[in-house]
Amino acid sequence: MSVRKLTYKVLGWTAHRLRGPLTAGTRVLAYHTVPQPDRYRRQLEYLRANYTLIDLDRFLAARRGREVLPDDAVLITFDDGDRSVLDHAAPLHRELGVPAVLFVVSDLIGTQTPFWWKRVENHFTLQEASYAAAREVVNHLKTVPNAERVAFVSGLTELSYPQLTREELTVLQDAGFAITNHTATHPLIDRCTLPELEDELDRAIAFLRDLPGGYPKVFAYPNGNSSPALDAVLREKGIELAFLFDHDFARPGQDMLHVSRIRTNTDDRLAEFKSKVGGLHPFLYQLRR
Ligand SMILES: [Zn+2]
């Protein structure tokens, strides 16, 4: 057994038995894609057997002070709306009766437009760069002003990338997914000008208002980038609840516009997953910061 595997076995075992101060709050899991449905099934079955899986309405009611959640409540969320969520996660959620939240990038729905980082990765790997080198470009672009990133990406090799359609969002809703707001184009909002941010929110909210059962008031920060300076804009646009990507529990009393989530991958092996959802992995992560 590798050291990494053994470490996670120990962490997972310990975290599973740890309940209390480390784990005060709700576990809001933040996923992205679903490359290996078998591993994700094991995670869902583990959660069903050991935790209370809740939906967005219950989470909202609790945050509004209208409901008290059990200590072991878990809310599952997916960011971006990758097609693998429909292909691989939706059938499992439907079969197992597990609710979830999907944060979509509204301008991309029904198009062949790739997520902007996919276009960067594709362009540079076609130029024989390593995937790691391409990701370095992506990470650099997350730090520059929004208009600069948009101009840079628009000059790269075109890529056709089938996105979810509006009809497929309805299929996801039927499988238990609440569809919510992840902006119109997935900019880093702390790199946007005020008019750029307002436009992103207006377009995403208009899309969700038109979608029966959409949640225009619930937001996830792209890349987790938030800024207290932008809270007023979010509030002005009617956003009531916004999720971070900071690998922590959603603590009681946390500001509604800065609600923590635990970073998880659907292909995490069960021992690693247990250590994340159990609280030990997030705890060690917070210590390191
Ligand atoms: Zn995202």
Q: How far is the CA of 225 from the centre of ligand 1 (A)?
A: 10
Q: How far is the CA of 186 from the centre of ligand 1 (A)?
A: 6
Least confident of 17-26, 102-111, 148-157, 198-207: 17-26
More confident residue, 21 or 132: 132
Q: How far is the CA of 46 from the centre of ligand 1 (A)?
A: 26
Burial (0-12, 13-18, 19+ Cβ within 10 Å), 55: middle
Q: How far is the CA of 56 from the centre of ligand 1 (A)?
A: 18
- Structural domains in the chain, CATH included, are 27-113+162-270 (3.20.20.370), 116-160 (no CATH)
Q: How far is the CA of 50 from the centre of ligand 1 (A)?
A: 28
- What pLDDT, on a 0 to 100 scale, did the predictor assign at position 16? 63
Q: How far is the CA of 104 from the centre of ligand 1 (A)?
A: 8
Asked whether the predicted pLDDT for residue 17 surpasses 90, the reply is no
- What pLDDT, on a 0 to 100 scale, did the predictor assign at position 5? 76
pLDDT tens for each residue of 33-42: 999 999 999 9
Q: How far is the CA of 105 from the centre of ligand 1 (A)?
A: 8
Query: Around 28, how many Cα atoms within 13 Å sit in the side-chain half-sphere?
Result: 30
CA proximity to 258, closest of 217, 225, 212: 225
Asked whether the predicted pLDDT for residue 19 surpasses 60, the reply is no
pLDDT tens for each residue of 236-264: 999 999 999 999 999 988 999 999 999 99
Q: How far is the CA of 178 from the centre of ligand 1 (A)?
A: 16
Q: How far is the CA of 85 from the centre of ligand 1 (A)?
A: 14
Inter-residue contact 235 to 257 (CB < 8 Å):
yes
Q: How far is the CA of 113 from the centre of ligand 1 (A)?
A: 15
Which residues lie closer than 8 Å to 118 by C-beta, 6 or more apart? Answer: 159, 161
What mean pLDDT comes out for the span 164-189? Answer: 98
Q: How far is the CA of 223 from the centre of ligand 1 (A)?
A: 5
Q: How far is the CA of 101 from the centre of ligand 1 (A)?
A: 13
Asked whether the predicted pLDDT for residue 171 surpasses 90, the reply is yes
- What pLDDT, on a 0 to 100 scale, did the predictor assign at position 20? 54
Q: Is the dihedral of CA 22, 28, 34, 37 positive or negative?
A: positive
What's the predicted TM-score (pTM) here? Answer: 0.92
Asked whether the predicted pLDDT for residue 91 surpasses 80, the reply is yes
Say how many Å lie between the first and final Cα of the chain, rounded. 29
Q: Token pair for residue 136?
A: 């370095």
pLDDT tens for each residue of 96-106: 999 999 999 99
| Residue 22 pLDDT grade (very low, low, confident, very high; cuts 50, 70, 90) | low
- What pLDDT, on a 0 to 100 scale, did the predictor assign at position 23? 63
Q: How far is the CA of 261 from the centre of ligand 1 (A)?
A: 13
